Structure 1
Amino acid sequence: MITIKPITPQDLSALSQLYEELMGVPSNVRQMQKMFEYMERQGHYYVLGAFDQDQLVGSVMGIECMDLVGSCEPFMVIENVIVSDRVRRQGIGQKLMLQIEHIARDLRCAYIILVSGDQRKEAHIFYEKLGFKDEKVQGYRKHFN
């Protein structure tokens, strides 16, 4: 039975392992703990975990962003969507995404937005099945060392 619930500080070590599976590089767990505490204090970050019994098998993060355009409604950015290779295609990602969408609706967000690497074709199919539309926008990143 899969349970979706907020990530706690006790889950960060397991979350670090999931992120390594997603990104291919290990997380600095000590820095991760500091950042998690900061995010909790801010109150606009929602990090959910999918748990199979007590084992963390997936996660998603939503960030509530404020807007000054039009009616000034907030929106949510989705990041770090991961379901472990061991349990994919069992509906876990869908449960995570539906729960973060529920949070966004409760916050009265006008929309949710996410970006996905161009090479992640399987993920794109998954997002489209959940109702996300490929709007053919151009994304840019500038990394700092």
Structure 2
Amino acid sequence: MVVIKEIEMESLPELGNLYQELMNKPSDLNRLEEVFKGVKADNRYILLGAFVEGELLGSLMGIVCQDLVGDCKPFMVIENVVVSARARRQGVGKKLMNAIEQAARERDCYYIILVSGEQRKEAHVFYESLGYRDEKVEGYRKHLSSH
């Protein structure tokens, strides 16, 4: 059974492993722990995990941003969506996405922004199956340090 809940400190080593799977490079666990404490203290961040028999096999992060346009309703940005290769195609990602969408609704978000790398075609099919649309906007990223 898949349990979706907020990630706590004791799951950081497993989260680091998931991020390594996502980014193909290891996370600095000391820095991850330090930043995690700030994220947990800031209610704009929602860091969810998918636990299968107690093991963290998926995660995503939602960030609520306040908008100043129109009705000034907040919106959510979703980042770092990852499901372990061992748990894909078992409904784990769908449960994570449904949970973060519910959190966005509870916070009265007007919309959700989700960016996915162009090469991740399988992920795009998954997002579209959940109702996300490719709106043909250009996305730009500028790295401010060498990673």
Q: For this structure pair, what is the TM-score category when the shorter chain's length is used for normalisation?
A: over 0.9
Given residue 2 of structure 2, which amino acid in structure 1 is its aligned partner? I
What is the TM-score normalised by the length of structure 2? 0.97
- Alignment RMSD (CA, Å): 0.5
Kindly state the Cα deviation for residue 90 of structure 1 after the two structures are TM-superposed.
Answer: 0.5
- Match in the other structure for 1:89: 89
Alpha-carbon displacement from aligned partner over 1:23-62 (angstroms, at most 9, x marks no partner): 0010111111111111112211000000011110000100
- Match in the other structure for 2:25: 25
The residue matched to 2:126 in structure 1 has which SS? helix
Runs of 4+ residues deviating >6 angstroms? none
- Match in the other structure for 1:36: 36
Alpha-carbon displacement from aligned partner over 1:67-115 (angstroms, at most 9, x marks no partner): 1111100000000000100110011100000000000000000001110
Percent identity reads 57
Given residue 16 of structure 1, which amino acid in structure 2 is its aligned partner? G
The answer to whether 1:63 aligns with 2:63 is yes
The residue matched to 1:69 in structure 2 has which SS? coil
Given residue 39 of structure 2, which amino acid in structure 1 is its aligned partner? M
- Match in the other structure for 1:77: 77
Given residue 113 of structure 1, which amino acid in structure 2 is its aligned partner? I
The residue matched to 2:99 in structure 1 has which SS? helix
Any unmatched runs of 5+ in structure 2?
A: none
Given residue 36 of structure 1, which amino acid in structure 2 is its aligned partner? F
The answer to whether 1:101 aligns with 2:98 is no
Paired residues, number: 145
Aligned counterparts, 1:106-117, within 5 A: 106-117=106-117
Given residue 136 of structure 1, which amino acid in structure 2 is its aligned partner? K
- Match in the other structure for 1:133: 133
